Amino acid sequence: GHIVRNWKVRWFVLLQDKLLYYKIEGGKKEPSPKGRILLDGCTITCPCLEYENRPLVIKLKTKTNTDYFLECCSREERDSWALDITGAIHAGHPVQVQELHRMKNSFKLLENISLHHIVERMCNSSTGIRLTRNLEQGNRYKETFTGSALVDWLISHSFAVSRFEAVTLASMLMEENFIKPVGTRSTEATRYSELSEQFLDDSTALYMFAESSKKSISSKEELQFNISELSGTIVKQGFLMKQGHKRKNWKVRRFVLRAEPAFLHYYDPTKEENRPVGGFSLRGCLVSALEDNGVPAGVKGNVQGNLFKIITKKDIHYYIQASSKAERAQWIEAIKPLT
């Protein structure tokens, strides 16, 4: 409410340019709307974390600076309403609407992303993620947060633009031992799920900060690279997802394509040092797009499409995902002349 700041149940109807809301009497909505929210010039915030105990709130700010706070019944409903309202706000701009739907399954992460920086922000006493006591199957856990709360926090602080992308980031935080699962729900997911599905965007899955957020690198993981192969001119760089060779899980990597000599290196964005974790010569390589109708043999886990494959001269197969068909085509076009 605008005058009395209480919460009331209202029946909402979304039209092309406005959001109507009706009072409910005797289980039925009244024939005339109680009010309306004009969507022209509106801005939407979802998730909105202004109410600590109400994680399912959407905030609408009209162009006259009036704030509306709308609470949904579930995260799925909240995100569905937010997407449809955003689509109505941008109804006159079909390209923007198309971009919104593409972003739902986006994993195009920020440039120069640092997990250390994210964890520092998460630990901030005023703007960080809210730690609470949670009870699960008779066990009480202190200073925990839920999987869905972390996803909401990452989106609201602009570290991710979609839930899929936020889950990817959260999975990286868990793999690099910045956070750990606690309780049956989240712990079982790490044991029995595919690696790409081990972090749960769920309000019953509990997580906490790991005791040590710094992971030591073993000597086996340290790779030596010839200075000459890193001296080439950078032709293209950006974030892509790469399937691991042993565990077959998908990880976000920053790829750097160099010419003269022609090499493709990939970097771990969770590491602060600017050294590749892998790479190979492009001489004699084969690169090709993979069709999206079905998952090719040799590919496992959470595949969103836009796959391409590079086969090296030593017959090593690399499976890589781009965030769109256009991005995949750009990478293939950039790599082919260097093979």
Distance of CA 233 to the CA centre of its chain: 31
pLDDT of 263 above 90: yes
pLDDT of 333 above 70: yes
171 lies in a domain?
yes
Q: Is the peptide bond before 94 cis (omega within 30 degrees of 0)?
A: no
- 204-224 pLDDT, tens per residue? 899 999 875 444 333 333 345
3 lies in a domain?
no
- 110-130 pLDDT, tens per residue? 555 678 888 888 988 888 998
- Indicate if 232 and 328 belong to the same structural domain: yes
Averaged pLDDT score across all residues of the chain: 81
Final residue before a domain boundary, out of 193, 216, 239: 216
* Unique residue bearing structure tokens 């084969």: 286
Q: What is the DSSP letter of 217?
A: P
Domain that holds residue 47: 10-104
109 lies in a domain?
no
The total domain count for the chain is: 3
Q: What percent of the chain has pLDDT over 90?
A: 29
Domain containing residue 45: CATH number: 2.30.29.30
Retrieve residue 192's tokens.
Answer: 């029995």
- Indicate if 34 and 61 belong to the same structural domain: yes
Domain containing residue 191: CATH number: 1.10.10.10
Q: Which pTM was predicted?
A: 0.51
- Indicate if 202 and 231 belong to the same structural domain: no
- 152-197 pLDDT, tens per residue? 999 888 888 778 888 888 988 887 788 999 988 888 888 776 655 7
- Indicate if 238 and 329 belong to the same structural domain: yes
- Indicate if 130 and 35 belong to the same structural domain: no
- Indicate if 210 and 188 belong to the same structural domain: yes
Q: What is the DSSP letter of 210?
A: -
192 lies in a domain?
yes
Considering only CA atoms, which of 179, 186, 181 is closest in space to residue 209? Answer: 179
Final residue before a domain boundary, out of 46, 70, 104: 104
* Unique residue bearing structure tokens 């910045």: 178
Q: E-assigned strands of the chain?
A: 11-14, 18-22, 24-25, 28-29, 35-38, 43-45, 57-61, 67-71, 132-136, 139-146, 179-182, 206-209, 233-243, 250-259, 263-267, 278-281, 286-289, 307-311, 317-321
23 lies in a domain?
yes
CA 125, 128, 133, 139: dihedral to nearest 10 degrees? Answer: -130
- Indicate if 200 and 233 belong to the same structural domain: no
Across 183-217, b (16+ Cβ under 10 Å) vs e yields bebbeebeeeeebbebbbbbbebbbbbbeebeeee
Distance of CA 32 to the CA centre of its chain: 41
pLDDT at position 111 is 55
200 lies in a domain?
yes
Cα–Cα dist 298/57, whole Å: 42
pLDDT of 93 above 70: no
134 lies in a domain?
yes
Cα–Cα dist 32/94, whole Å: 31
- Indicate if 239 and 330 belong to the same structural domain: yes
Cα–Cα dist 266/90, whole Å: 37
Final residue before a domain boundary, out of 187, 216, 245: 216
- Indicate if 319 and 242 belong to the same structural domain: yes
- Indicate if 124 and 199 belong to the same structural domain: yes
Q: What is the DSSP letter of 138?
A: T
Contact present, 19 and 12 (Cβ < 8 Å)? yes
